[in-house]
Amino acid sequence: MESNGVMKHAASAWAFQLGPLARTGNTMPPKDDPELQKLRKELDDMMKKIKEEQDKVADKTLQDICGDMADAPKVRLTTKKLLKGHINKVNSVHFSGDSRHAVTGSLDGKLIIWDTWTGNKVQVIPLRSSWVMSVAFAPSGNYVACGGMDNMCTIYDLNNRDSTGAAKIVRELLGYEGFLSSCRFLDDKTIITGSGDMKICLWDLEAGKRSLEFEAHSGDVVSISLSPDSKTYITGSVDKSCRLWDLRDEKPKQTFFGHTSDVNSVCFHPSGYAFATGSEDKTSRMFDIRSDQNVATYCPPNSTSGFTSCGLSFSGRYVLCGSDDSSVHIWDTLKNQHNGCLTGHENRITSLSVAGNGMAVATCSWDNNVRVWV
Amino acid sequence: MDPSVVAAMDKDALKKQIENMKYQATMERWPLSKSIAAMREYVEENEKSDPLIHAPDKKNNPWAEKGKCIIM
């Protein structure tokens, strides 16, 4: 059942409600033994204490600190390039580090590498599986990665062709027990993936081996965002939470609650101390890392649709969210004001990528098109 | 955290979750007055370089439509 652009398996969202037991097929509730009760109380007390400590530091609000700022100018982005080429839904888009090229993945079974300055297709890569859900461009521009319902992540070398003339597959990362939902290159040698089996994997691409593999959430991991210094990352999950991780750890640093449905997308703030989200609950939020809490909730004027994707502008002043309603909603993050919508797509927007230089935003949609907004 | 989620957890899941929350249970937090002010300061410092706020000249914008004449 496709409830949003990430094509989540309906059963997994339902199974989450019953927790890990449902995933193992055991739907019997656990017997209430003293140790179980003790553990439940310990966790409950811990959560209460954390909430108390968060409330203690909530001495001011966003309105208190930013209320006197001038309103942010109206964002004037229009479609400068309408990239046509895919013949089925496009599920994922990601800019290269050069702020010029972008990769898209579509259910037509192709990856397309676009030169967004000219609109030209630089490469078309046929995929072995058409069920692609996530794509990533290495910051260097040398590699792209993709994966989806094939339960694997495939790495293509854009500078080397195989005998058919398509970009060569240099790695097939296997062993996932669920769909690949998100991936991000740290550099040419390292990729981090999130998957429907609730795990995060860190891969050493030279050795072709996992450096780390661990259960990260109590539901599908659907989004990953690297910090500006690449030392930490945020994950978003259908379990409604977001987590902050140090790159080499298997335990999260912090868990952020607030959303009332799947967190579909996370995006690190350029300052490195906050992150924005887009959720099925029809809101976008800003979480502050050092204060360990939700500092703003951004609601559209008519809350009809979930957000599938999000990005922040170069300074962090604007958050942009791709929506099931076919538009991109924009907010002033500091004054919590809806700044407008980018309209043009004719169906759900599945993914959004802000170029590193902040000058362009790429979106892709179930309408088979890719738009570059400048 | 959803009470229904906690209620459904087995002992191992509870132990794991408790481990997961340990850092957060003892971390030092910045007051919002300080962290929001820092966010505002960062944004204000970087607004001049944010193309969505200060659009670059057409000649510095690779996506801008080029004029019809070119110098041969």
Q: State the sign of the Cα–Cα–Cα–Cα dihedral A158, A122, A328, A66.
A: positive
Other CB atoms closer than 10 Å to residue A13's CB: what's the count? 18
Chain A residues inside the 8 Å CB shell of B31: 57-60, 291
pLDDT at A3: 36
**Do residue B49 and residue A257 have CB atoms under 8 angstroms apart?**
no
Gap from A176 CA to chain B (nearest CA, Å) = 21
Where is pLDDT greater, at B57 or A2? B57
Q: Is A288 on the interface with B (CB under 8 A)?
A: yes
| Mean pLDDT, range A365-372, rounded to an integer | 98
Say if B28 falls within a structural domain: yes
Cα(B15)–Cα(B3) distance, rounded to whole angstroms?
A: 16
| Mean pLDDT, range B38-67, rounded to an integer | 92
Chain B residues inside the 8 Å CB shell of A16: 5
pLDDT at A77 over 70: yes
Gap from B41 CA to chain A (nearest CA, Å) = 10
A129, A135, A120: which is closest to A149 by C-alpha? A129
pLDDT band, residue B72 (cuts 50/70/90)? low
A148, two tokens:
């989806």
Mean pLDDT value across chain A:
92
pLDDT at B58: 87
A107, two tokens:
């259910």
Chain A residues inside the 8 Å CB shell of B14: 36, 39-40, 42-43
pLDDT at A31: 60
The residues that bridge with A147 in the sheet, in sequence order, are A134, A153
Say if B56 falls within a structural domain: no
- CB < 8 Å from B in window 49-78 of A: 49-50, 53-54, 56-62, 64-66, 69, 72-73, 75-77
Say if B67 falls within a structural domain: no
* Assembly ipTM: 0.91
Say if B23 falls within a structural domain: yes
| H runs (alpha helix) in chain A | 10-18, 20-23, 34-56, 62-66
**Do residue A65 and residue B64 have CB atoms under 8 angstroms apart?**
no
pLDDT band, residue B36 (cuts 50/70/90)? very high
pLDDT at A305: 96
Chain A residues inside the 8 Å CB shell of B66: none
What is the domain range of residue B23? 3-48
Give pLDDT tens digits for A114-129: 999 999 999 999 999 9
| Mean pLDDT, range A91-108, rounded to an integer | 98
Cα(A153)–Cα(A2) distance, rounded to whole angstroms?
A: 21
Say if B27 falls within a structural domain: yes
How far apart, in Å, are the Cα atoms of A162 and each of A125, A142, A165, A296, A297?
11, 15, 5, 49, 48
Say if B63 falls within a structural domain: no
What's the domain count of chain B? 1
Q: Is A44 on the interface with B (CB under 8 A)?
A: yes
Phi then psi for A332, rounded to 5 degrees? -80, 115
Say if B22 falls within a structural domain: yes
Q: Is A117 on the interface with B (CB under 8 A)?
A: yes
**Do residue A57 and residue B2 have CB atoms under 8 angstroms apart?**
no
Say if B57 falls within a structural domain: no
